[in-house]
Amino acid sequence: MAATIKDIKDMTGLSLATISKYLNGGNLLPENREKIEKAIEELHYEVNEMARGLVTSQSKVIGVVVFNIANVFTCTLLRFLGERFREAGYASMICDSQNDEQVEADNIRFLMGKKVDGLIVIPVGRTPEFLEPALRADIPIVLLDRSLKGSGFDCVMVDNRTASYQAVEMLCSYGHRRIAIIGSESEFTGRERLEGCLQLLKKEKIDIPPEYLKLGLHSIEHGYRSMQELLQLEVPPTAVFMGNFEIILGAVMALNESAFQCPADISLIGFDDLIISNLSNPRLTLVVQPLQDLADRAADLLLRRLEEGRGAPRAEDGQQQVMENEELILPALIVEGDSIKRCSE
């Protein structure tokens, strides 16, 4: 039979109130704490987290809602988030929105039913309505990687515009003017990266022909198909910017199947270094996001909000309000490889 609090009381001679205070994180005299911990070890007592949650109004569980769990970027962030929350005594409950806004809304309602203490969200949608159940529950929410403009939520993300601007700027510094973009305007990060690329091209007075602008989903299929189409043009680009890891994978696959060589025939620069830099030949020049820092900052911000007792943004009448939030924008770095050749055209 499993040990109970009464067994600890009988072994230590302490009151049930003192033992309960210890189990719920309260301060005790050192000698009483030592007695309880010794009894717990000898009795192999296991805390009933569900029962404790009813008393403390804490589940010690963080809900993490991601846009697509099959994405390598997402899996890497989940690993770092899990480590940080585990160190702080929290478990993670992960929900995959499968790039579907309705699934995303269902996930939020599901997690509210599980009484999670807080939320980390990598959103699919562009507007915050799907978070209304969390607003009503008054729990802290931190957006990761993607912002919901004007929502009043804390957010941690990378400066996608500046990083993409600098990536295309590097191509121009090597003399390239026939520059193609394989990217996306469906996702928040895709739109930001596209904007950064176009800003630089406009500054350099470089016109991008419609056939050089390949926009779709951040996917292997989009990268593969787009690179094939670019290489089949009568006047192909001399350089290509690739908008994320999956696009890079697809584009490199298509290039490897062609008669073109990198960088002799075409120069490449991509966004995200998730294994690919160690597998490609030549080594790709890539924009590298600080994934562990992103995850740690988001987790630490949420844990701080939990300690402060601050929930989701609310007005006095209970309605959502736009309020001052903490937005952390981290820089990305360009790590040079051997995939860009000087162009004399």
Whether 51 has a pLDDT exceeding 60, the answer reads no
pLDDT (tens digit, 9 = 90+) per residue, 122-166? 999 888 999 999 988 889 999 999 998 767 799 999 999 999 999
pTM (predicted TM-score): 0.79
- Which backbone phi and psi does 16 adopt, to 5 degrees? -60, -35
Question: What is the percent of the chain where pLDDT is above 70?
Answer: 88
The pLDDT of residue 163: 97
Band of residue 236 on the pLDDT scale cut at 50, 70, 90:
very high
Is 333 a residue whose pLDDT tops 80? yes
pLDDT band for position 1 (cuts 50, 70, 90): low
Residue type at 238?
Answer: T
Q: Which residues 6+ apart lie within 8 Å of 319 measured at CB?
A: none
For the segment 247-260, what is each residue's pLDDT rounded down to a tens digit? 999 999 999 999 99
Over range 298-322, report the average pLDDT.
69
Percent pLDDT > 90 in the chain is: 65
Whether 5-56 and 61-158+291-330 share one fold: the answer is no
Predicted pLDDT of residue 278: 65
Of residues 165 and 314, more confidently modeled? 165
Residue 75 scores a pLDDT above 70? yes
Kindly report, residue by residue over 106-117, the tens digit of the pLDDT. Answer: 999 999 999 999
In this predicted structure, the answer to whether residue 56 has a pLDDT above a threshold of 90 is no
pLDDT (mean) for 263-285: 85
Could you give the angle at the alpha carbon of 171 between the alpha carbons of 169 and 172, nearest 5°? Answer: 65
Distance in angstroms (rounded) separating the CA atoms of residues 214 and 14: 71
DSSP string of 305-317, one letter each residue: HHHHT--S---TT
Which H, E and C letters describe 180-202, residue by residue?
A: EEEECCCCHHHHHHHHHHHHHHH
Domain ranges of the chain: 5-56, 61-158+291-330, 160-289
Q: Which CATH class is domain 61-158+291-330?
A: alpha beta
Query: Please, what CATH class does the domain formed by 5-56 belong to?
Result: mainly alpha
With cut-offs at 50, 70 and 90, classify the pLDDT of residue 322.
very low
Helix (H) or strand (E) holding 342: none
pLDDT at position 71: 84
Query: Which candidate, 245, 300, 288, 327, places its Cα nearest to that of 83?
Result: 300
Please answer whether residues 336 and 284 qualify as being in contact, where contact means their C-beta atoms are separated by less than 8 angstroms: no
User: CATH homologous superfamily of domain 160-289?
Assistant: Response regulator (3.40.50.2300)
Tell me the pLDDT tens digit for each residue of 190-229.
999 999 999 999 999 999 999 999 999 999 999 999 999 9
